[in-house]
Chains A and B, each alone.
Chain A
Amino acid sequence: MTSIQRLLYFLTLHRTGLAVCMVSLGALLFPVLDDNPYTLGLSHLVAINTLVVLGLNLFIGYAGQISLGHATFFGLGAYGSAIISTTWAVSPWLSLILVALCVALLALVIGIPVLRLSGHYLAMATLGLNFVVYTILIQWDEVTGGPSGFAGIPALSCADFVFDTPVRQHYLLWAFALGAMLLMLNLVRSGVGRGLAAVAGDEIAASSLGVNTQAAKVKIFVLSAVLASLAGSLFAHSFGYISPDTFGIFASTDFVIMVVVGGMGSIWGAAFGAAFLTLLPEWMDIFDTYKDLVHGGILVLVLMFLPQGLVTGLMDMLKIRWALRRHNASA
């Protein structure tokens, strides 16, 4: 092997790790290049949305299910953490973990019966869950603050180091987002991940290959709920203020659109979709006014022309093109 071949081999062998390092480097250097609090606020939102979309993408793209209610877990994470840390004065880290555990339990209890459904029925069930929780957040105002929201949530801190400036929060949030991304990349490259991809492709074939499809779906539902809850807690502790409107059904559909834009079953696509839809209104003012209209339009267009999602659909097309060209070249 020549040194160039060796280098190429090294690059392909470690492509995932190297790509994660590159993105981490980008996130590390970003505040050095641009420490405008507004831009950093956007990057916080991208990181938080990435965290939610990573889990949801696993559920939609790998387990092959649909959830129109992930803002529920996002909201429960945010409000749970806010109430425990502010009202009960528990340390924010502890409340974050406590809430994540409670949400995991809730997702398990809900997931076991609900995931026996599929397709439209599952979508309706998760949508219903979102409505229930949203109504509770609005109506139970002595605990949640009602429609006016919940303010004065303490920031996270490590000993004396408080994550209260935008730059510090940037590092905290991206550490979580990239950590979760690494874990998800590991998961989908393992035997468990292949089993999940099999469930998304064909449940009968998957069960005949030894995948416990029901258990796999529930596990992924719980995992994605925990990620959403973590994202919610981080959201509450870094912005200091939350209101029920952030956790309504439109938030849920926005998460689904992020998954669809990124592509089903693509971890990198999840980050791309989250960033794209979070930043879209910033590039064009009109998108802010007609946000729901534009999001709906994007969803329809992507599903019509690339049902696998934007990034995944394009990647699939490239892969097929590449395979056929190599075949023709050798024939």
Chain B
Amino acid sequence: MLQLNNISKNFAGLPALCQVSFQVPQGQLTALIGPNGAGKSTLINCITGVAPCSSGRISFDQTDITALPAHAITRLGIQRTFQNLRLFPRLSVLDNVLTGLTCEGGSSLFMAMLRLPYLRHRERRLKLRALEALDRYGLTAKAHWPAGVLAYGDKKRVELARATVGNPRLLVLDEPVAGLNAEETCVVAEHLRQLRRNGQTIVLVEHDMDLVMNAADQVVVLDSGQCIASGTPESVQRNPMVLEAYLGRMEATA
């Protein structure tokens, strides 16, 4: 579904990604792992158009999205979450989730100002969907809170709700359980499995190996900006290159 061919990204000459290629098959959960600084978040930023890549080609359903701006890529059906939360603290939780439906909310300034009946009905439908999403993530009671005062775990779930509410064709999650405790991690893992069962295509960046090995269909390992392995969780766990990337480093620092 998503295909990456020889993606490279340089920051002022410093290579962050070098010739990365892999595919994300439809309806499967692809996990992207690697040590800190391996280029995982950079790769996600390249895919979603936040930081366009320096060379290579990214195609999504046979459409070339390499040079498209972020909003155009989102309109093709790719939604993401951020590692460092990017909620809108002053908006209510419900409005935060509603911003995830921006693509369906119309873009005509003029029609929005007139607020004709069709627009009112559409607003009501979108609100209903946002409330359903909040219900899935157990946030209904806090729907009218300003998002800024929520606890960290709740904020993470609001981001998940915001990314999934529009039923994107591809969901890109950047460390959805980072900073959560074991209990909260279990809840998020269950949400991921539920999404996967419903046929959602997911790219997951995560450090939590239990979560990755249990949930992923395919694992891609990055190290120092290069793709060093990909395959099923079992085959990646046995791959000597991967062991070296993780364990070799541990020896060096121990």
| A interface residues, Cβ below 8 angstroms from B | 183-184, 186-187, 189-195, 197-198, 201-202, 204-213, 219-220, 223, 265, 308, 316, 319-320, 323-324, 327, 330
Given A190-B105, A209-B100, residue A201 in contact with residue B112 (CB < 8 A): no
14 sample A-B contacts, Cβ–Cβ < 8 Å, listed by A number:
A187-B109, A187-B112, A189-B115, A189-B123, A190-B112, A191-B123, A194-B91, A202-B86, A204-B50, A205-B86, A209-B74, A316-B90, A323-B145, A323-B146
CA distance A212 to B88 in the complex (A): 17
Q: Which 9 A-B pairs have the closest CB atoms?
A: A191-B105, A201-B88, A190-B112, A205-B86, A186-B115, A210-B74, A207-B70, A192-B112, A183-B113
The contact of B86 among A194, A197, A204, A220, by CB within 8 Å, is A204
The contact of B102 among A201, A211, A223, by CB within 8 Å, is A211
CA distance A206 to B71 in the complex (A): 8
A208 & B105 in contact (Cβ 8 Å cutoff): no
Chain B: which residue is nearest A193 at the CB level? B112
Given A204-B86, A211-B71, A324-B149, residue A195 in contact with residue B102 (CB < 8 A): yes
Best-surrounded residue of B50, B102, B104 (most CB of chain A within 10 A): B102
A202 & B144 in contact (Cβ 8 Å cutoff): no
CA distance A211 to B126 in the complex (A): 17
CA distance A186 to B106 in the complex (A): 13
Chain A: which residue is nearest B93 at the CB level? A323
Known: A194-B105, A198-B102. 15 other contacts (CB 8 A): A184-B113, A190-B106, A190-B112, A191-B106, A192-B107, A192-B112, A194-B102, A197-B88, A198-B88, A207-B69, A208-B82, A209-B99, A209-B100, A220-B109, A223-B109
| Chain A interface, >50% SS class | helix
Q: CB-CB < 8 A to A316: which residues of B?
A: 90, 146
B113 & A201 in contact (Cβ 8 Å cutoff): no
A323 & B149 in contact (Cβ 8 Å cutoff): yes
B197 on the A face (CB < 8 A): no
* B61-94 interface with A by 8 A CB criterion: 69-72, 74-75, 79-80, 82, 86-91
B206 on the A face (CB < 8 A): no
B95 & A194 in contact (Cβ 8 Å cutoff): yes
CA distance A269 to B89 in the complex (A): 20
Q: CB-CB < 8 A to A183: which residues of B?
A: 113-114
A308 & B71 in contact (Cβ 8 Å cutoff): no
A208 & B112 in contact (Cβ 8 Å cutoff): no
B114 & A186 in contact (Cβ 8 Å cutoff): yes
The contact of A205 among B88, B141, B146, B149, by CB within 8 Å, is B88
Best-surrounded residue of B82, B90, B91, B98 (most CB of chain A within 10 A): B90
CB distance from A205 to the nearest CB of B (A): 4
The contact of B103 among A210, A220, A265, A323, by CB within 8 Å, is A210
B109 & A192 in contact (Cβ 8 Å cutoff): yes
A186 & B113 in contact (Cβ 8 Å cutoff): yes
Chain A: which residue is nearest B78 at the CB level? A208
Q: CB-CB < 8 A to A213: which residues of B?
A: 71
The contact of B50 among A208, A210, A330, by CB within 8 Å, is A208
Q: CB-CB < 8 A to B108: which residues of A?
A: 192
Best-surrounded residue of A189, A192, A193, A204 (most CB of chain B within 10 A): A192
CB distance from B93 to the nearest CB of A (A): 10
CA distance A327 to B48 in the complex (A): 37
